[in-house]
């Protein structure tokens, strides 16, 4: 069986629970699929190299892996389609393609997540959408687990429960950019042809957003601050990200013909 192990670059040290999980994987002789990035990827490689466990495949997008610390590990280059071969494509898009390939190739999925990184969040969502046999997410010293046998207990979730929990964690730590809010609602309402600029105007009209000028730069911010998360630059608010509650309110103005003066009284 193949297990894709991934995680956040910000995590520099494996926790005791992570080490316990990695040992269990080794004891079951699973084939480990891992990337070539720093952070969790490199820590996984180091752990299995230190334990002389070589049933490991390092996935990469270039001719050679960026990080591969053991010659006995296998390596697998992920070849792009013609669109991604274009040199103008961002590195992140190519790495995302590699991660998608790893999700496709695995039977089981295990992620060591900081609750913030979007790359790991995307991988988790893809594993859930792919309905992998076993999914385990480790985040903030807690574990969230899905088994496909349908059994639910205090430590396991259905796919829907797991998806909602992961969204909750990501939203709490990150929120959504205004463009991401727009994209989410646009996907839900494909029949509406509203443009992003008109959407922002509607939000201002509905008194969900206000427009401020900071350092000669226009900044949109929530009228009610509980719906926003400040992004700081040099200790000062530079922009905002938005909560799931804000998205719920914004749904009501996602219409090119929106004319309501306000959704709530402040």
Orientation of helix 40-50 relative to helix 16-27, angle to 10°? 50
Which of these three, 155, 174, 193, is where a domain ends?
A: 174
Over range 250-255, report the average pLDDT. 79
The CATH number for 76's domain is: 3.40.50
Instruction: Find the range with the poorest average confidence among 162-171, 210-219, 235-244, 257-266.
Output: 257-266
Q: Residue 262: name the closest of 243, 249, 248 by CA.
A: 249
In a domain? residue 266:
no
Over range 26-48, report the average pLDDT. 96
In a domain? residue 258:
no
Over range 74-78, report the average pLDDT. 93
Over range 51-60, report the average pLDDT. 97
Residue 202 sits in the same domain as residue 138: no
Which of these three, 174, 190, 224, is where a domain ends?
A: 174
Residue 39 sits in the same domain as residue 93: yes
Residue 34 sits in the same domain as residue 145: yes
In a domain? residue 243:
yes
Residue 116 has pLDDT above 60, yes or no: yes
Alpha-carbon distance of 201 to 207, in angstroms, equals 10
Residue 226 sits in the same domain as residue 144: no
For the chain, percent of residues with pLDDT exceeding 70: 86
Sign of CA dihedral 192, 197, 201, 203: positive
In a domain? residue 264:
no
Q: How many domains does the chain have?
A: 2
Residue 37 sits in the same domain as residue 143: yes
Q: Which domain does 163 fall in, by range?
A: 2-174
Residue 263 has pLDDT above 80, yes or no: no
In a domain? residue 39:
yes
Which of these three, 174, 189, 217, is where a domain ends?
A: 174
In a domain? residue 108:
yes
Residue 197 has pLDDT above 60, yes or no: yes
Residue 12 sits in the same domain as residue 127: yes
Residue 154 sits in the same domain as residue 222: no
In a domain? residue 164:
yes
Instruction: Find the range with the poorest average confidence among 60-74, 127-141, 218-232.
Output: 218-232
Over range 143-162, report the average pLDDT. 80
pLDDT of residue 160: 93
Residue 140 sits in the same domain as residue 204: no
Kindly report the pTM of this predicted structure: 0.74
pLDDT of residue 252: 80
Residue 14 has pLDDT above 90, yes or no: yes
Residue 207 sits in the same domain as residue 240: yes
pLDDT of residue 266: 37
pLDDT of residue 265: 39
pLDDT of residue 187: 85
Sequence-ordered list of residues with C-beta below 8 angstroms from that of 80, at least 6 positions apart, any chain = 61, 94, 97
Start-to-end Cα distance in the chain: 56
Residue 234 has pLDDT above 70, yes or no: no
Residue 74 sits in the same domain as residue 132: yes
In a domain? residue 205:
yes
Alpha carbon 129 to chain centroid, angstroms = 13
Residue 37 sits in the same domain as residue 163: yes
Mean of the per-residue pLDDT values for the chain? Answer: 87
């Amino acid at each position: 069986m193949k297990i894709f192990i991934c995680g956040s670059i910000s995590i520099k040290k494996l926790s005791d629970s992570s080490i316990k999980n990695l040992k269990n994987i080794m004891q079951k002789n699973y084939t480990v699929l891992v990337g070539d990035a720093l952070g969790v990827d490199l820590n996984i490689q180091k752990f299995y190299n230190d334990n002389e466990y070589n049933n490991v495949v390092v996935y990469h997008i270039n001719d050679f892996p960026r990080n591969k610390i053991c010659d006995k590990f296998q390596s697998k280059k992920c070849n792009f389609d013609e669109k991604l071969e274009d040199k103008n494509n961002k590195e992140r898009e190519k790495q995302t393609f590699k991660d998608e390939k790893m999700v496709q190739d695995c039977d089981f999925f295990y992620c060591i997540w900081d609750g913030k990184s979007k790359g790991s969040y995307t991988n988790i969502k893809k594993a859930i959408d792919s309905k992998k046999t076993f999914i385990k997410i480790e985040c903030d010293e807690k574990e969230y687990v899905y088994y496909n046998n349908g059994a639910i207990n205090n430590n396991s979730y259905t796919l829907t429960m797991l998806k909602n929990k992961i969204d909750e964690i990501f939203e709490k730590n990150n929120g959504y950019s205004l463009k991401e809010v727009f994209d989410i609602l646009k996907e839900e309402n494909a029949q509406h042809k509203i443009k992003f600029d008109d959407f922002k105007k509607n939000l201002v009209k509905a008194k969900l957003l206000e427009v401020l000028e900071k350092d000669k730069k226009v900044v949109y911010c929530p009228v009610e601050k509980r719906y926003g998360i400040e992004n700081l630059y040099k200790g000062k608010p530079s922009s905002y990200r938005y909560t799931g509650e804000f998205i719920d309110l914004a749904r009501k103005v996602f219409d090119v013909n929106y004319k309501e003066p306000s959704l709530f009284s402040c």
